[in-house]
Amino acid sequence: MALARVSFPSAAIAISCSRHQPLARVHSCKSAAVVTKRRAAATVVLGAAIGLGSWELWAGGTVLAVTGVLMASSLERIQQQDKAMECISRGMQLFSQGDVEGSLVEFDKALELDPNQRPYLWQRGLTLYYLDRFEEGANQFRDDVSINPNDAEEAIWCFLCEAQLYGVDEARKRFLEVGSDRRFVMRKVFELFHHGGDPEKILGQFDDNGGQLTFYSSLYTGLYFEAEQNADAAKAAITAAARSFYGSRSTDYMALVAKAHCARRGWQLCEPSVAVIE
């Protein structure tokens, strides 16, 4: 879970979230932190501007009109940022409903409204992968890692895009270096993608009766098989991830990705069997 802290003279704001939270809240912790920071900063700036304008007016100055223009400009930027966040939410909802093309329209609208959102919009990178727009997807993930250098998943998805463009060997040479993921399963998956190895060992190592570990090991093992052009093994692993207790019931955005993957490949999913998570 990423933690962003923003400090101002009269407030300390702590925001934490992750791509693994429910869809309604997964929006983007990074984007939420940026918007909160901008709003708080705007409040401080506008408050100072109002005070300055009042003093200058009392002193017979002429800066009050300029202050009003600055205030209007700041408020307009905040409104643009809010609209951008609404587009991102709609894009995520469309993706969850299987409308991958529609999700890209909304994500791109968000960038038009607020270009500063780009390095936080990993959801757009996932959408681009499923639209076979691999170069754009790789660029999106590279931008993301530039401001979040400890995200193993973004480095992996960049590799997946570039494996489709250049082949696995060349993509591995271009592999993004990131810090250590807090999740042991993702550290092992990262090593697999970065250096190669036996994906079956990942599947055998992580089994929590259909829970989160089962889901993530199955999903990323399947994605590894897909990069290696092993379609049958990819199908078996990713459908298992989507059918797992966690994959079929969680609102984790990556669970939605597993389902979207199956839908885009035309793989049928049946109802999962009952599982117990301890």
pLDDT of residue 196: 95
pLDDT of residue 190: 96
pLDDT of residue 168: 97
What are 81-124's pLDDT values in tens digits? 999 999 999 999 999 999 999 999 999 999 999 999 999 999 99
pLDDT of residue 7: 30
What are 159-171's pLDDT values in tens digits? 999 999 999 999 9
Residue 256 burial (10 A CB sphere; 0-12, 13-18, 19+) = buried
Enter the tokens of residue 110.
């968000």
Q: Determine contact, residues 221/201, Cβ cutoff 8 Å.
A: no
pLDDT of residue 165: 97
Q: How far apart are the C-alpha atoms of 193 and 277, rounded to whole Å?
A: 28
pLDDT of residue 21: 53
pLDDT of residue 249: 95
Residue 264 burial (10 A CB sphere; 0-12, 13-18, 19+) = middle
Enter the tokens of residue 166.
């250049």
Could you tell me what percent of the chain has a pLDDT over 90? 64
What's the distance, Cα to Cα, between the start and end of the chain in Å? 22
Measured CA distances, 233 to 45, 52, 225, 237 (Å): 56, 67, 6, 6
Q: Determine contact, residues 138/144, Cβ cutoff 8 Å.
A: no
What are 1-15's pLDDT values in tens digits? 333 322 323 333 232
Contacting residues for 68 by C-beta, under 8 A, at least 6 apart: 53
Domain edges within the chain: 185-278
pLDDT of residue 137: 98
pTM, full prediction: 0.75
192: left (phi over 0), alpha (psi -120 to 50) or beta: alpha
In terms of C-beta distances under 8 Å and separation of at least 24 residues, what long-range contacts does 185-189 make, across chains too? 185/213, 185/216, 185/217, 186/152, 186/153, 186/216, 186/220, 187/152, 189/152, 189/156, 189/216, 189/217, 189/220, 189/221, 189/224
Q: Determine contact, residues 258/244, Cβ cutoff 8 Å.
A: no
b/e map of 78-94 (b: 16 or more CB within 10 Å)?
A: beebeebbebbbbbbbb
Enter the tokens of residue 159.
């590799």
What are 46-56's pLDDT values in tens digits? 444 444 444 44
pLDDT of residue 80: 87
Measured CA distances, 232 to 47, 254, 255 (Å): 61, 21, 20
What are 179-211's pLDDT values in tens digits? 989 999 999 999 999 999 999 999 989 989 999
pLDDT of residue 76: 80
User: pLDDT at residue 126 above 80?
Assistant: yes
User: pLDDT at residue 72 above 80?
Assistant: no
Q: How far apart are the C-alpha atoms of 196 and 163, rounded to whole Å?
A: 13
User: pLDDT at residue 17 above 90?
Assistant: no
User: pLDDT at residue 260 above 50?
Assistant: yes
Helix (H, G, I), strand (E, B) or coil at 272: coil
User: pLDDT at residue 269 above 90?
Assistant: no
Q: How far apart are the C-alpha atoms of 44 and 50, rounded to whole Å?
A: 10
